[in-house]
Amino acid sequence: MRAAGLYARRRAGDHVYLALSMAATVAGLLVLFLILWTLVANGLAALSTGFFTEMTPAPGSTGGLANAIYGSVVMTVVATLVGTPVGVLTGTYLAEFGAGSRIAPVVRFVNDILLSAPSIIIGLFVYELMVVPMGNFSAWAGAAALAIIVVPVVVRTTEDMLRLVPGGLREAAIALGTPQWKVIVSVIYRAAIQGMLTGVMLAVARIAGETAPLLFTALNNQFWSANMNAPMANLPVVIFQFALSPYADWQKLAWGGALLITVTILLLNILARFLVSWSNRSP
């Protein structure tokens, strides 16, 4: 009798436990869908042709986010172009020359810390390094701050992907008398190119929505500006400013910008995942 009671109790406890774990998962997914639904519900109304072609308006007049979209794209592209080679070479060092080296574990450790370090600290750093000496906020400084965020992401994925390349490939190439740099550039990189591209895409997704490091570097600009030496408008900071404003039309634009950023980033993430699973399937 007692044994049966114990069994029932254990089974009931187990069911409660598993129900709670399922509830946790449902809660997590619910928040994701709530956020996406809110973005779509509020953001779609703001999207029009003017949204993409007109400048950020003064309160009360109509306008779009053309200058902010341009600024975000330019700074993201520059940051990616600067940060990617640095990250790829560092990742190459860790994966190909790191064995037996004393600094490789330290670099790996520091890189992982930079990967999660608060991005606002990077903003402070670049402010002191570039904005103060140059005397003004600039798009170059914004791009530099974003590039610093790109590096650890690319380092991490490059190292991981190069390690997945089978050693036999390296040995075969070396046995043919190929110099090591040529082995890496024309054999290893070619074998790992999809994974490395994924890393770059994830880095782009990461910086496309970064706001904190741009607050003190690129600042913002109400007008169209293609001058990299001057403050430049960008989507995240415009969203920040417009969302906290009391004006309804500014808030509407902020929602539109938020939807645009999120859709872009989620697409990049999903695409990156497909790229990885696709490259894993066809060896």
Partner 1 sequence: MTIALPLISRRRLDRQRLQDAAFRGATRLFAVGVLVLLGGIVVTLAFSAAPAFERFGWGFLTSAAWNPVKDDFGALPAIYGTLVTSAIAMLIGIPVALGIAVFLTELCPPPLRRPIGTLVELLAAIPSIIYGIWGLFVLAPFLQLTVEPLLIDTFGQLPIFGPLFDGPPLGLGMLTGGIILGVMVLPFISAVARDVFLTVPPMLRESAYGVGATTSEVVNNIVLPYTRTGVIGGVMLGLGRALGETMAVTFVIGNAHHIRLSLLAPGTTISATLANEFTEALSKLYVSSLFALGFILFVITFIVLAAAKLMLLRLEQQAAK
> 53 or 134: whose CB is closer to partner 1?
134
**Is residue 124 a contact point for partner 1 (CB under 8 A)?**
yes
Give φ, ψ of 211 to 5 degrees: -110, -50
**Is residue 278 a contact point for partner 1 (CB under 8 A)?**
no
Q: How many CA atoms lie within 13 A of 83 on its CB side?
A: 30
Residue of 181, 155, 183, 145 whose CA lies nearest to 89 = 155
**Is residue 44 a contact point for partner 1 (CB under 8 A)?**
no
Helices and strands, number each (H, E), in the chain: 13, 0
> 53 or 103: whose CB is closer to partner 1?
103
Among 68, 141, 144, 148, binds partner 1 (CB under 8 A): 148
**Is residue 4 a contact point for partner 1 (CB under 8 A)?**
no
DSSP three-state, residue 100: coil
Among 55, 82, 120, 197, binds partner 1 (CB under 8 A): 120
> 53 or 248: whose CB is closer to partner 1?
248
Dig out the tokens for 38 from the structure. 């809110």
Nearest distance from C-beta of residue 28 to partner 1, angstroms:
5
Between CA 69 and CA 74 the distance in angstroms is 9
> 61 or 116: whose CB is closer to partner 1?
116
Dig out the tokens for 223 from the structure. 């007008």
List binders of partner 1 among 214-243 (CB under 8 A). 215-216, 219, 236, 239-240, 243
List binders of partner 1 among 18-37 (CB under 8 A). 18, 20-25, 27-29, 31-32, 34-35
DSSP assignment of 121-160, as one string? Answer: HHHHHHIIIIIHHHSS--HHHHHHHHHHHHHHHHHHHHHH
Listed ranges 13-21, 64-72, 162-170, 188-196: which one lies at the site for partner 1 (CB under 8 A): 13-21
Total site size for partner 1, rule CB under 8 A: 86
* Dihedral angle sign, alpha carbons of residues 185, 188, 191, 195: negative
- Residue type, position 143, single letter: A
Q: If 0-12 CB within 10 Å is exposed, 13-18 middle and 19+ buried, where does residue 215 land?
A: buried
Max Cα distance, the chain (Å): 83
Q: How many CA atoms lie within 13 A of 14 on its CB side?
A: 6
> 53 or 180: whose CB is closer to partner 1?
180
Listed ranges 56-64, 73-81, 191-199, 265-273: which one lies at the site for partner 1 (CB under 8 A): 265-273
Asked if residues 82 and 148 have their Cβ atoms less than 8 Å apart, the reply is no
DSSP three-state, residue 118: coil
**Is residue 166 a contact point for partner 1 (CB under 8 A)?**
no
**Is residue 17 a contact point for partner 1 (CB under 8 A)?**
yes
List binders of partner 1 among 70-99 (CB under 8 A). 86, 89-90, 92-94, 96-97
**Is residue 180 a contact point for partner 1 (CB under 8 A)?**
yes
Among 151, 165, 201, 232, binds partner 1 (CB under 8 A): 151
> 18 or 53: whose CB is closer to partner 1?
18
Listed ranges 44-52, 64-72, 110-118, 193-201: which one lies at the site for partner 1 (CB under 8 A): 110-118
